[in-house]
Amino acid sequence: MSVRHVLIVDSDPGTVAHGTSALAGMDVEAVATPGAALERVTGSAFDAVLFDPALGEDDDGALALLHRLRTLAPDTVVVIWSEAPTVGFTVRSMRAGALDVLKKAAEGAEVRSVVERAISHGALAREVRRLRGEVEKARGLTEVIGESQLMRQLLQMIERVAASDATVLIVGESGTGKELLARTIHRVGPRAEGPFVAFDCSALAPSLLEAELFGHEKGAFTGAGRARRGLFREANGGTIFLDEIGDIDASVQNKLLRVLQEREIKPVGGDRPVAIDVRVVAATNKDLKALVGRGQFREDLYWRLAVFPIQVPPLRERKEDIPLLAAHILAKRRGAAKSFAGGEVPYPTQITAKALQRLMNYRWPGNIRELENVLSRAAILCDGEMIRTHDLDMLAMGEGRTGAADRSDGDERVDLPAIDLSRLGDGEGLKDLTDRAVRAVERSAIAAALRRDRNPAAAAKRLGISRASIYTKMKAYGLGLDGSPAPADD
| pLDDT score of 170 | 97
Task: Report if residue 411 sits inside a domain.
Answer: no
Low-confidence ranges of the chain (pLDDT < 50): 140, 340-341, 396-426, 489-490
| pLDDT score of 403 | 38
| pLDDT score of 208 | 85
* DSSP string of 223-274, one letter each residue: T--S-B--HHHHTTTSEEEEETGGG--HHHHHHHHHHHHHSEE--BT-SS-E
- Distances 279 to 97, 236, 242, 282, 344 between C-alpha atoms, Å: 36, 9, 11, 10, 42
Task: Report if residue 462 sits inside a domain.
Answer: yes
* DSSP string of 187-228, one letter each residue: HHSTTTTS-EEEEETTSS-HHHHHHHHH-B-TTSSTT--S-B
CA dihedral 475, 476, 482, 484 (to 10 degrees): 130
Task: Report if residue 145 sits inside a domain.
Answer: no
Same-domain check for residues 452 and 361: no
Task: Report if residue 244 sits inside a domain.
Answer: yes
Same-domain check for residues 158 and 302: yes
Task: Report if residue 434 sits inside a domain.
Answer: yes
CATH classification at residue 335: 1.10.8.60
470: CB partners within 8 A, 6+ apart: 446, 456, 459, 460, 463
Neighbouring-strand partners of residue 49: 7, 78
| pLDDT score of 143 | 65
> Which of 380, 404, 428 is where one domain is finished?
404
Same-domain check for residues 212 and 323: no
Tell me how many domains the chain contains: 4
154: CB partners within 8 A, 6+ apart: 144, 146, 181, 310, 312, 313
CA 441 to chain CA centroid, Å, is 43
Q: List the domain range (segments joined by +) for residue 436.
A: 416-490
Task: Report if residue 22 sits inside a domain.
Answer: yes
> Which of 404, 437, 465 is where one domain is finished?
404
| pLDDT score of 311 | 95
CATH classification at residue 111: 3.40.50.2300
Amino acid (1-letter code) at residue 90: T
DSSP 142: T
Same-domain check for residues 126 and 37: yes
Sign of CA dihedral 274, 275, 279, 283: positive
**What distance in Å separates the CA atoms of residue 116 and residue 4, rounded to the nearest whole number?**
9
Same-domain check for residues 300 and 326: no
Same-domain check for residues 174 and 286: yes
Same-domain check for residues 204 and 71: no
Sign of CA dihedral 256, 257, 259, 260: positive
Instruction: Report yes or no: 365 and 174 within 8 Å, Cβ to Cβ.
Output: no
Same-domain check for residues 182 and 295: yes
> Which of 351, 371, 404 is where one domain is finished?
404
Task: Report if residue 126 sits inside a domain.
Answer: yes
Task: Report if residue 147 sits inside a domain.
Answer: no
Same-domain check for residues 222 and 328: no
Question: Is-above-0.75 flag for pTM?
Answer: no
CATH classification at residue 177: 3.40.50.300
Same-domain check for residues 302 and 201: yes
CATH classification at residue 450: 1.10.10
Same-domain check for residues 275 and 161: yes
Same-domain check for residues 358 and 254: no
